[in-house]
A and B are shown apart, each in its own frame.
Chain A
């Protein structure tokens, strides 16, 4: 039985349910004058139905075969949810953390510094330890993108808190 597959189907079922409930707070209207809630409501219903169908399909096949269900990811990414392998490695969570931090810092530190820090920390997270090289690479990246967008294309990027 593929637990991950089943839980994802269950999550989609839940999302469908939530969409339905939220749509009900808006006027559904009639077919002649469909209200704002009309489309989302029926979308929620269809999503729930499809998720239930998928759940049943995976469940039945899993029971029939006694092993992971038919859909294997064709893309890279290893085994689907084999219990031994963690869903996300520590490295990936750190990487994601840097992304979140970059969104937080962009308005405060401005584009140039944020880009520099993002490059430096991502290179570190991915295991590059040659500091001089990392620093050069980050500086060049930040400078080139800054020049291209701000100076040449004249697209305003956040300047940071000291800029005013």
Chain B
């Protein structure tokens, strides 16, 4: 521990050279920008800037590229809150309460809470990263296909009823999402499923198309369907003193931010779409322990603070497997791995001993970068919140252009735009009859991974189902899933019995 602190202070002397501070700032700015733009996420941002780093020395290059990654986590929630357009997987859940807050004139509070939560969680994440990286990476290796399957099964059961409307409808949405996720190449046998000769379907349905469609376009269409006089108005305009969160808001958000940081950091160590699982889990936890769960989905600040923190903490802990094992658990870290390699540095078990200045310099730059991001983001809050002053009849076309452009840039594909429009119509219809889009999106992301883990486990065990219950970690998740499923059922049965008895 003491050694780590010593090394970290060396790292700070590397990171605080004027040169490296500049690249840290540059990374943070670009990251915030690509985070705000829908479609262009951290992956595209890093890929586009790798060639620009060829002339730099490795430490500066990695400092900047890592900055893009965690910087994007700050900006990601902006369009979710203002426009109900989730730019990436991690910010879907922020739409639920963030957008409702904005509709109630509290966009400023929501945006500022995100920035503060991101800062706290990011910083806590780096503390974990700098102190505990090697042992945590070893622990992460214990997750094999059976554990992975059980974790995700637990996730589905616990999270399918995200906002607490009809349980049946939420489950239907989750199953529909799983079904959509099976389109494309079967990950186990490599055969085409539901593709019917289309190259585009062969690649599967793009998640961002479904997300922007169901949430963004669906919301715009619902708005357009309103009488004309509604359209002439703007969204409820925030008053100046409401641009930043009140003391009460901060008090309410403090614990969710800390809990979100913990959940996010833990989940970030697990291979796969960690930010998704982290944000959904944090949201569910906050709703479960809240004294007023009915406010969730109606603009509860806890529902913004928790998931946004979880998202950033997960982003920081995702660096651990990359640095210590040299293995990326998610696409953004995969491209960072590429960046390391192109600069002749191989992350992995030898990184800390072979390149101590680079490793600790990058870690130290993350502390600085997070601070820069907070300072950078807070002044933008009033600017962004004022976007909602634009009357809807002007704002809605702008949102459409934003969605179209963002969608196209994900894969440079017009087919994705068709999918986005299709899911926009679906989202419009579902919204009308109170179906929730979030479980569908969750299922779409996790479904293919769940299926692969299930089939991998059985292939490894030669068809023996015991593999799921004979391993302690896996068993624990399955028991937790069963508890989540059975408890509400028992509760309703019990209440029905009592009601009968009373009659």
A71 touches B463 (CB 8 A): no
Chain A residues near B412 (CB, 8 Å)?
A: 155-156
Residue B169, interface by CB 8 Å: yes
Residue A100, interface by CB 8 Å: yes
Asked whether A47 and B397 contact (CB < 8 A) given A91-B228, A100-B421, the answer is no
Chain B residues near A19 (CB, 8 Å)?
A: 179
Chain B residues near A28 (CB, 8 Å)?
A: none
Stretch of B6-14, B248-256, B361-369, B427-435 with 4 or more beta carbons under 8 angstroms from chain A: B427-435
Chain A residues near B485 (CB, 8 Å)?
A: none
Residue B54, interface by CB 8 Å: no
B429 touches A115 (CB 8 A): no
A31 touches B458 (CB 8 A): yes
Among B171, B217, B405, max chain A CB count under 10 A is at B405
Q: How far is the CB of B152 from chain A (nearest CB, A)?
A: 13
Chain B: CB-nearest residue to A141: B401
By size class, the interface of chain A is: 35 or more
With beta carbons under 8 angstroms apart, the residue of A8, A33, A40, A126 that contacts B179 is A40
Chain A: CB-nearest residue to B220: A95
Query: For chains A and B in complex, what number of residue pairs have CB atoms within 8 angstroms?
Result: 184
CA distance A126 to B400 in the complex (A): 13
B421 touches A15 (CB 8 A): no
Render B187-206 as a binary contact track against A, CB cut-off 8 A, 1 for contact.
01101011000000000000
With beta carbons under 8 angstroms apart, the residue of A34, A43, A155 that contacts B175 is A43
Residue B278, interface by CB 8 Å: no
A12-63 contacts to B (CB < 8 Å): 12, 15, 19, 22, 26, 30-37, 39-40, 43-44, 46-47, 50-51, 53-54, 57
B261-307 contacts to A (CB < 8 Å): 297-298
Residue B393, interface by CB 8 Å: yes
A118-163 contacts to B (CB < 8 Å): 118-119, 122-123, 125-128, 137, 141-142, 145, 148-149, 153-158
Chain A residues near B226 (CB, 8 Å)?
A: 76-78
Chain B: CB-nearest residue to A26: B193
A71 touches B434 (CB 8 A): yes
Render B406-424 as a binary contact track against A, CB cut-off 8 A, 1 for contact.
0011001010011001001
Residue B178, interface by CB 8 Å: yes
Asked whether A106 and B434 contact (CB < 8 A) given A12-B172, A126-B231, the answer is no
CA distance A73 to B171 in the complex (A): 17
Chain A residues near B432 (CB, 8 Å)?
A: 4, 73, 77, 80-81, 87
CA distance A106 to B402 in the complex (A): 14
Chain B: CB-nearest residue to A153: B48
Residue A74, interface by CB 8 Å: yes
Residue B224, interface by CB 8 Å: yes
With beta carbons under 8 angstroms apart, the residue of B182, B186, B225, B425 that contacts A77 is B225
Residue A92, interface by CB 8 Å: yes
B414 touches A51 (CB 8 A): no
Asked whether A88 and B462 contact (CB < 8 A) given A39-B182, A47-B172, the answer is no
13 A-B pairs (CB sep. < 8 Å): A8-B429, A32-B459, A43-B178, A44-B179, A76-B223, A78-B226, A106-B404, A122-B396, A127-B228, A145-B402, A155-B412, A157-B405, A157-B408
Additional A-B contact list (8), CB under 8 Å, known A31-B465, A106-B414, A111-B408: A8-B433, A31-B463, A39-B182, A40-B194, A57-B168, A115-B405, A119-B401, A157-B408
